[in-house]
Homo-oligomer: A and B are copies of this chain.
Amino acid sequence: MKLAIDAMSGDLGSHEVVEACKMFVKDHGDVTLYVVGKQEELEELKDLANVEIVDAREVVKMTDSPLGVRRQKESSMVKALMMARKDEVDGVVSCGSTGAFFTGAMLFVKRLEGVERSCLMAVLPTFNGKGSCLLDVGANAENTAEQLRQFAIMGSVYAKYVRHINKPSVRLLNIGAEDHKGDQVHQDAYKLLKEEKVIQFDGNIEGRELLDGNCDVIVSDGFAGNIALKSMEGTALGLMKVMKKAMLGSTKSKLGALLIKDNLKKELSAFDYKSVGGALMMGFSKAIVKAHGGSDARAVRSAMELAYTMVAEDVVTKMKEGLTQS
């Protein structure tokens, strides 16, 4: 297996990626890593077996316009994606800007056969700790019912082979439980999903239940999915800020905070609200994995493990099969 790692585009710099690569190659003798970035920052990896350094002089910044990636051919991000385009690697990992990385993937990496639109998937942290996949969270400003059906199949295959859920429960984000709810696209999507044999469709889901973890895959058009994801994120972050302020407001409350700290940590560990916001690229012919911008070595390594699983399980082929079988 061959993976390309964009070493430069994260918030914390190349050092964290270098550490992640060192950890990763120890466990995976079967993988060749192509680490793309300024070679002088990657010297530590130079002598490792199974690591190739690919020099790239440019860096795509978090503040760059996503569309600008078109012209950033010398950047570590685009160079890593180009290796996927040329079939030189099976997957790409980056902690760069989601917008730029997705745009780059759209421009440079082939779409999966049978997929009309690629999309972004987020794994929502749910209150029961199980997590649910939500797609699309904003790659598309609108989608057809047929595209929603394709998202459902991709999400379901992902949940099955990467998250090891035997028969993933798929639901459609809508404004009511009944099949006639929503606009024409969502009414049509409901019908298509109901008829679709390669997935387990369990009906509509409303915004209120999104974090309950009662299903594995939530299908949405990109507009509503983006609004839902960001609304939940804003609410969670805002509420946590309020709680923190209340706890640190006085000496008395600080003492109180100390006393509930352990329990709070335990309860919130199931619901890691900080991880809302990351996203996976779905619908490409290669495994394209986006780590959080602020990823440390451990988080980058997790992203690499994810790409590894996707390739090892041949998720892309299984998605293609699901899409063409149906």
Q: Which residues of B contact A237 (CB under 8 A)?
A: 208
Q: Does A10 contact B (CB under 8 A)?
A: no
Instruction: Provide the bound-state CA to CA distance between A182 and B138, in Å.
Output: 9
**Contacts A182-B141, A223-B183, A223-B224 given; does A238 touch B207 at CB 8 Å:** no
Q: Which residues of B contact A262 (CB under 8 A)?
A: 253
| Binary per-residue interface labels of chain A (233-261) against chain B in the complex, 1 for a CB within 8 Å, 0 otherwise | 11111111111011101101101111111
Q: Which residues of B contact A260 (CB under 8 A)?
A: 246-247, 252-253, 256-257, 260
**Contacts A127-B242, A223-B183 given; does A263 touch B234 at CB 8 Å:** no
Most buried by B among A186, A229, A253: A253
Question: Are A207 and B230 neighbours in the complex by a CB distance under 8 Å?
Answer: yes
Q: Does A175 contact B (CB under 8 A)?
A: yes
Q: Which residues of B contact A175 (CB under 8 A)?
A: 138, 141, 222-223, 226-227
Q: Does A116 contact B (CB under 8 A)?
A: no
**Contacts A223-B224, A260-B257 given; does A208 touch B183 at CB 8 Å:** no
Q: Which residues of B contact A106 (CB under 8 A)?
A: none
Q: Which residues of B contact A223 (CB under 8 A)?
A: 175, 182-183, 186, 224
Q: Does A299 contact B (CB under 8 A)?
A: no
Q: Which residue of B lies closest to A180 (CB)?
A: B141
Question: In the assembled complex, how far is the CB of residue A72 from the closest CB belonging to chain B, in whole angstroms?
Answer: 20
Question: Are A255 and B246 neighbours in the complex by a CB distance under 8 Å?
Answer: no
Question: Are B231 and A210 neighbours in the complex by a CB distance under 8 Å?
Answer: yes
Q: Which residues of B contact A263 (CB under 8 A)?
A: 245-247, 249-250, 252-253
Instruction: Provide the bound-state CA to CA distance between A117 and B232, in Å.
Output: 28
Instruction: Provide the bound-state CA to CA distance between A181 and B209, in Å.
Output: 27
Q: Does A267 contact B (CB under 8 A)?
A: yes
Question: Are B230 and A227 neighbours in the complex by a CB distance under 8 Å?
Answer: no
Question: Are B127 and A238 neighbours in the complex by a CB distance under 8 Å?
Answer: yes
Instruction: Provide the bound-state CA to CA distance between A208 and B241, in Å.
Output: 14
Q: Which residues of B contact A183 (CB under 8 A)?
A: 141-142, 223
Q: Which residues of B contact A271 (CB under 8 A)?
A: 238-239, 242
Instruction: Provide the bound-state CA to CA distance between A109 and B8, in Å.
Output: 62
Question: Are A245 and B231 neighbours in the complex by a CB distance under 8 Å?
Answer: no
Question: Are B268 and A242 neighbours in the complex by a CB distance under 8 Å?
Answer: yes
Q: Mind listing 16 A-B residue pairs with CB under 8 Å?
A: A127-B242, A183-B223, A208-B237, A210-B231, A211-B234, A227-B231, A231-B232, A232-B235, A245-B263, A245-B267, A246-B260, A247-B263, A249-B266, A250-B263, A253-B262, A260-B260
A residues sitting closer than 8 Å to B (CB atoms) are: 127, 138, 141-142, 173, 175, 181-184, 186, 206-212, 222-224, 226-243, 245-247, 249-250, 252-253, 255-264, 266-268, 271, 273
